[in-house]
Amino acid sequence: MQQADPIDSARPPSRWRLFACMMYEGVLLFGVVFLASYLFDTLTQSRSGLMFRHGRQAVLFLAIGAYFVLCWRKRGQTLPMKTWNIRLVGTDGRTPGLGTLVLRYVLSWPVPLLAALLVLTASRTTGYSSTDLLIVFAPFTVFIWTWFDPQQQFLHDRLAKTRLIDVQRP
């Protein structure tokens, strides 16, 4: 008789906890983005957010990626994930390797960026610039896949062969 793999029987965190974790993550990312932007502006003597715009975007992409990958690498959790008892694991139940973590980070971007592009297209098509405000919903489009996934995992987790599990003690 074959025993069930413990990672397969691990509960996924609720969508509400994932949402709360994501909101808390946004608060911490403000600090990461502020520090990276400050260093970028200081080193480049940039006086406007539009100066060296693409360079700034690349630096912020790398800074945010470094934050996530370094946190996930240690114990599979960022501070908000620890607070909400959520852990990132590989298919074997262990903390994924560096390559997998980088892949997960990169794969987490296309869905929200596509949603942002749709908002921009809607704004330009309708001529109502107020439509741009819908951009705030773009990051949450990653949740759409969880409604169709049997284990309520994100699409980028499926593709990277990782998953988020609930580590709350019963």
Burial class (CB in 10 A: 0-12, 13-18, 19+), 162: buried
Burial label, 157 (beta-carbon count in 10 A; 0-12, 13-18, 19+)? buried
Question: In Å, what is the CA distance from 123 to each residue of 115, 117, 144?
Answer: 12, 10, 22
**This prediction's pTM:** 0.88
Helix, strand, or coil (residue 96): coil
pLDDT of residue 3: 41
Cβ atoms 98, 14 nearer than 8 A: no
Q: Closest Cα to residue 160, out of 72, 96, 114?
A: 96
Confidence at residue 84, expressed as pLDDT on a 0 to 100 scale: 96
Regions in the chain scoring below 50 on pLDDT: 1-6
